[in-house]
Amino acid sequence: MPLMTTTQMLLDAQKNGYAVGAFNVENMEMVMAVMEAAEELHSPVIMQTTPSTVNYAGLDYFLANVRTAAERASVPIAMHLDHGNSFELAMQALRAGYTSIMIDGSHESFEENIRLTKSVADACAPSGVPVEAELGKVGGKEDDLDGGAGGYTEPSEALEFADKTGITSLAVAIGTAHGVYKGEPKLDLLRLSEIRKVVSVPLVLHGTSGVPDETVTECVSRGICKVNYATDLRIAFTSGVTSVLKEKPNTIDPKKYNAAGKEMVKEYVKSKIKVVKSEGKA
């Protein structure tokens, strides 16, 4: 089927008490792995790229891979710009054909975050392309994204932010971080519940790689509708590749070790689809 937007995906998730997994993809094999996992578990899925991934090959290369996967699939697949860092990049993704856009103004002041986010939401609205934003700041470092120590989302600000910007989903900061955790993360679940009480748009959880599965499931039960995974997919793919090269160091055919990486990513994605409870929801 053609690429879908995330709008109905997330509204269905919100209504029925599950979340949609959003998986960062870095190459063709990872795209194939996510699609195959979604097909096998009959789950909707979101694939996404960060600005650093886009810089590596371009919006069109990654979009072409995901569009091909969607056309071969029988489940809904969306293509999302993760952590779009400028109005210009957001518009480039919109024009290229991405079906979901994130603009991340969380490093700016509250007022500037509203201004930037609203400008992107207003530009995307005529095309029906949904816009995600972030309030508070998810900490940690991944690629070119550095959230530092992070900062929590205030429920009262979240209500004002959603009302003034016209966003369709909101990423909240409740104690998660990007990249690899040094210890077990401690999430402020009560804060999440308070945000859910005042904000009507679907909520998004970033920095989920490394968060215990039971904690993610609890977040879903408290209103999270989209769950992002990135770092652990890279780890899974690299583990598959290195396992082949360790066993057979003279392997020169990339298909051999890339296939092993793909399989590791596929199994990881299947496990997280079950965690967010989207199995059978396509």
Which phi-psi region, left, alpha or beta, contains residue 207 (left: φ > 0; alpha: ψ -120 to 50)?
Answer: left
Which residue's entry shows tokens 């879908």? 4
Contacts of 281 (CB under 8 A, 6+ apart): 12, 13, 16, 18, 42, 43, 44
CA 113 to chain centre: 20
Catalytic residue flag (residue 146): no
Cα–Cα dist 59/39, whole Å: 24
Strand order in the sheet with 177-178: 145-146, 139-142, 177-178
DSSP code of 137? B
Which residue's entry shows tokens 């789950």? 43
Which is the catalytic residue, given 12, 82, 143, 232? Answer: 82
Which residue's entry shows tokens 């792995």? 33
CA 11 to chain centre: 16
* DSSP helix/strand/coil, 133: strand
Question: What are the catalytic residues?
Answer: 82
